[in-house]
Structure formats: C-alpha cells, structure tokens
Amino acid sequence: MSLDRDTVRKIAFLSRIEVADEKLEPLAGQLSGILDWFEQLKEVDTDGVQPMSSVTDAVLRWRDDVITDGGIPEKILANAPEAMDGFFTVPKVVE
C-alpha cells in the first residue's frame, strides 16, 4: 500500500495541518513505509471476530438531568488567544 503526494495533501487538509509542498514527498514515503508494515495484519484470521473498541464489556452509566455546570464564562474564555464581548473570535467565516 503506498501513498502518493495527493493523498498526503488530502489527509493533511482533513487534519488541518499545513504541509509545505516539498514535504509531501518525504511524508508520503514515510507513511507508506508504515502502511507496508501494517500489511502483516492480513495474516491474522479475524473472520467472525467482533471489532474491539473498548477493553471493558461494561455499559454506559447515566447521570441525572441536573444542572451542575456552566455559569463560568470568564473561566471558559480565560485561555482564549482572542475574545470580544464574551465571545471567542475567529477570522470571519463566509458562508
């Protein structure tokens, strides 16, 4: 399985990480190497095996519908790189 420049560009965009053009090729090579290494998993017979997404077989616990949080806008905004009038701000989004 090998990965080309365009695929790296695409996943870089999906990941919102700017990758310089000259870095696409070396990254494609590195990631392809890792993908090749993953090929070994094909040897494992997993027919009928349920995918394991959690180590426990416990189920979700539920909490009560009670307001226990919020009311802390100054703490929510305290670490913001930029904020105005109680809002976070970002470059204007054109829809």
Partner 1 sequence: MSYIIKGETGDWELVIGLEVHAQVISNAKLFSGAATAFGADANTQVSFVDAGFPGMLPTINSVCVEQAVRTGLGLKAKINKRSVFARKNYFYADLPQGYQISQFDLPIVGEGEIILDLPDGTSRTVGIERLHLEQDAGKSVHDQHPSKSFIDLNRSGVALMEIVSKPDMRTPEEAGAYLRKLRAILRYLETCDGNMDEGSMRCDVNVSVRKAGEPYRTRCEIKNVNSVRFVMQAIEIEAKRHVEVYESGGDIVQETRLFDPNRGETRSMRSKEHAHDYRYFPDPDLLPLEFDDAFVEAIRVTLPELPDEKKARFVETYGMTGYDAGVLVMEKETAAYFEEAAKGRDGKQVANWLITTLFGGLNKKGLSITESPISPAQLGQLVDLVNDNTISGRLAKDVFEIMLEEGKDPAVIVEERGMKQVTDTGAIEAACDAVIAANPDKAQDVRDGKEKLIAWFIGQVMKATQGKANPGMLQEILKKKLLG
Partner 2 sequence: MTSLLDLSLAEARDGLRAKEFTAVELTDAYLGMVEKHRDLNAYITETPDLAREQAKAADAALAAGTAGAMAGIPVGIKDLFCTEGVLTTAASHILDGFKPPYESTVSANLKKAGAVMLGKLNLDEFAMGGSNQTSYYGPAKNPWKAEGSDVDLVPGGSSGGSAAAVSARMALAATGTDTGGSIRQPAAYCGITGIKPTYGRCSRFGIIAYASSLDQAGPMTRTVRDAAIMLGSMAGFDPKDSTSADVALPDFEAALTGDIRGLKVGIPQEYRPEGLDPEINALWDKGIDMLKAAGAEVVDISLPHTKYALATYYIIAPAEASSNLARYDGLRFGLRVEGKTLDEMYAKTRAAGFGEEVQRRILMGTYVLSAGYYDAYYLKAQRVRARIAEDFRNAFKTVDVILTPTAPTPAFGIGANMDDPIAMYLNDVFTVPTSLAGLPGLSVPVGLSSTGLPLGLQLIGRPFDEETVLRAGDVLEKAAGFSAVPSLVKG
Among 13, 25, 29, 30, binds partner 1 (CB under 8 A): 13
| Phi and psi torsions of 3, nearest 5° | -105, 135
Query: Which of partner 2, partner 1, none does residue 87 bind to, with CB < 5 to 8 Å depending on kind?
Result: partner 1
| Phi and psi torsions of 66, nearest 5° | -130, 140
Site for partner 1 in 76-95 (CB under 8 A): 76-77, 84-95
Under DSSP, is residue 94 helix (H, G, I), strand (E, B) or coil?
coil
Site for partner 2 in 26-85 (CB under 8 A): 27, 30-31, 33-35, 37-38, 40-44, 46, 49-56, 58, 60-61, 63, 72, 75-76, 78-82
Nearest to 30 by CA among 47, 58, 44, 11: 11
Nearest to 32 by CA among 24, 20, 43: 24
Contacts with partner 1 by CB under 8 A lie at 10, 13-14, 16, 53-54, 56, 58-73, 75-77, 84-95
